[in-house]
Amino acid sequence: MGTQGKPLTPEKKEAIVALKKYFDRTRDDDLEQMSPGVERVENASGIGIATIKRVMADHNRGVDFTNQDPVYRGRPQRLLSDSMQAVTRDYVRRSNREGCYITLEKLCEYLESVDPEQKFSIRTLGRALDRWGFTFGKGIRTQRLREKNHVVAARQRYLRRKRTNRKGEGSIRPEVYLDESYVNRNHSNDFIWYLDDDGPWLQKPTGKGERLIIINAVTENGWVPGAKLTFKSSRKTGGYHGQMNQEMFTKWFREKLLPNIPKKSLIIMDNAAYHNVLSAHSAPTAACRKEKIRLWLEQNKIPVRDDCLKVEMIEILNKLAPSPTYILDEIAAEHGHEILRTPPYHPELQPIETCWAVVKNQIARNCDFTMANLLTRLENAFSVVTAETCSGLIKKVREIEDTFWKEDILLDEQY
């Protein structure tokens, strides 16, 4: 029938049903070499077995092919999941150590071999690499793909502080990892058991449904007691970061986190915008408005011409201004704690990221597509992440930190 890559018309679906019924009627059960009806329809029509089974399943459910809405097939989505960051970084660093020449084509082939479900174009991969902090630069004898300098420097500062906090298998200051995530009402597994001839009867609602946003923290002893905050998002689309703001996060930080963590903790978080709101006492940054930068320079008796451009002021800031001070850092210091931010594009250094994956997987396995049950499932899912789970994840993260530390030294010797 020549249907590859094209949606089946109602007439072709009816023809598949008629062929299947005909071959079933004329099948001779005494002849073992006779192919099943589905395979005979495949041979006669050139249509794949999976497609034939779907058509027959619809027919057995009483679907009227003539009244079905037409299927529109647009351009396939070409997005590279952020979950591939760690895999990509490991491959690039290993290839650089071995002196291998890396191209987008080779990297694309490798990622598709790791996860065949990932489908993307070379251009999409290039944009993702730039977003994740990689750059295409000149190596010693050839061009190579490598991480951007500011990413490597941020990672080294982070690792150096983490290593100074170690004491044998434990830590000097208790480490607290915090993060935010979300889960949708219709979050469920896509695969179920069903009979081939009937097809899957489960009718999942369209869309992702209402969304819950969650904030929590973990230590090596498990979830921080009393720190969990869950609230309903006012939007169903877009990133969950758009539903958070500095005022809401600071309120949670003061009232639910700080009273429930050990004394003199090292609080580890990522670089979300509401984590990095400048204190009133802080020096400005390049992201600040020109007037604020000029005012700070004048208050610190640093001469600036009236016609000085913002880019020129930023150059002065980079040379003279101290590191920025954030509101959360001041609040934490008041209670005897210290904040440490993970380097950008490094989710593998946050054990709580894996905790979220465990929670969401547990929710997906028990979905009934109702908001009331989602809250119950969420509570049960949190109980799956135990103290043993968290201590194991933190130990694994330390191994990753050690690997980064050693590899960065080796790579630095090559440049």
Q: How far is CA 276 from CA 30, 216, 239, 254, 356, in A?
A: 76, 18, 18, 15, 23
- What is each CA distance from 105 to 57, 111, 116, 138, in whole angstroms? 40, 10, 15, 18
**Which of residues 106 and 329 earns the better pLDDT score?**
329
Q: State residue 123 phi and psi, 5-degree precision.
A: -65, -40
pTM, full prediction: 0.67
Q: What's the CA gap between 24 and 17, in Å, rounded?
A: 11
Instruction: For residues 246 and 368, state if they share a domain.
Output: yes
Angle between helix 387-412 and helix 85-97 axes, rounded to 10 deg = 30
- Whether 88 and 225 share a structural domain: no
Is residue 163 domain-resident? no
Per-residue confidence (pLDDT) for residue 117, from 0 to 100: 74
Do 25 and 87 belong together in one domain? no
CA distances for 142 relative to 95, 102, 205, 325, 415, angstroms: 13, 10, 52, 41, 12
Task: Tell me, yes or no, whether 153 lies in a domain.
Answer: no
Please indicate, yes or no, if residue 310 is contained in any of the structural domains.
Answer: no
Residue positions counted in the chain: 415
Q: Decide if 252 is inside a domain.
A: yes
* Close Cβ partners of 35 (under 8 Å, ≥ 6 residues apart): 43
Q: How many helices (H) and strands (E) does the chain have?
A: 14, 10
Which letter, b or e, does each residue of 139-160 get, where b requires 16 or more Cβ atoms within 10 Å of its Cβ? Answer: eeeeebbbbbeebbebbbebbe
Token pair, residue 404, equals 């980064």
| DSSP track, 291-314 | HHHHHHHHHTT----TT--HHHHH
SS (H, E, C) 206-275: CCCCCEEEEEEEEECCEECCCCCEEEECCCCCCCHHHHCCHHHHHHHHHHHHHHHCCCCCEEEECCCHHH
Q: What is the pLDDT of residue 350?
A: 96
262 shares its domain with 366: yes
297 domain residue, yes or no: no
The C-alpha atoms of residue 231 and residue 212 are separated, in whole angstroms, by 6
Q: Do 352 and 403 reside in the same domain of the chain? A: yes
- Domain extent, residue 365, equals 170-282+324-412
Q: Label residue 46 exposed, middle or buried (CB < 10 Å: 0-12, 13-18, 19+).
A: exposed
Q: What is the CA radius of gyration of the chain?
A: 28
Q: How confident is the model at residue 415, as a pLDDT?
A: 61
Which pLDDT does position 75 carry in this prediction?
47
Return the minimum-mean-pLDDT range out of 92-101, 126-135, 193-202, 298-307: 193-202
pLDDT for 78 equals 46
Provide the pLDDT confidence category of residue 5 given band limits of 50, 70 and 90. low
| 239, pLDDT greater than 60 | no
> Which residue blocks in 341-386 are alpha helix, DSSP H?
351-364, 371-384
Angle between helix axes 387-412 and 351-364 (nearest 10 degrees) is: 130
Assess contact for 227 and 217: CB atoms under 8 A: yes
pLDDT in tens, 49-84: 888 888 888 888 777 777 665 555 554 444 666 678
* Same domain? 204 vs 273: yes
204 and 275 assigned to the same domain: yes
Confidence of residue 32 (pLDDT cuts 50, 70, 90): very low
| Domain match, 89 and 58 both | no
Question: Is residue 27 a part of any domain in this protein?
Answer: yes
In a domain, 212, yes or no: yes
Inform me whether the pLDDT recorded for 33 exceeds 80: no
Nearest to 276 by CA among 349, 344, 341, 320: 341
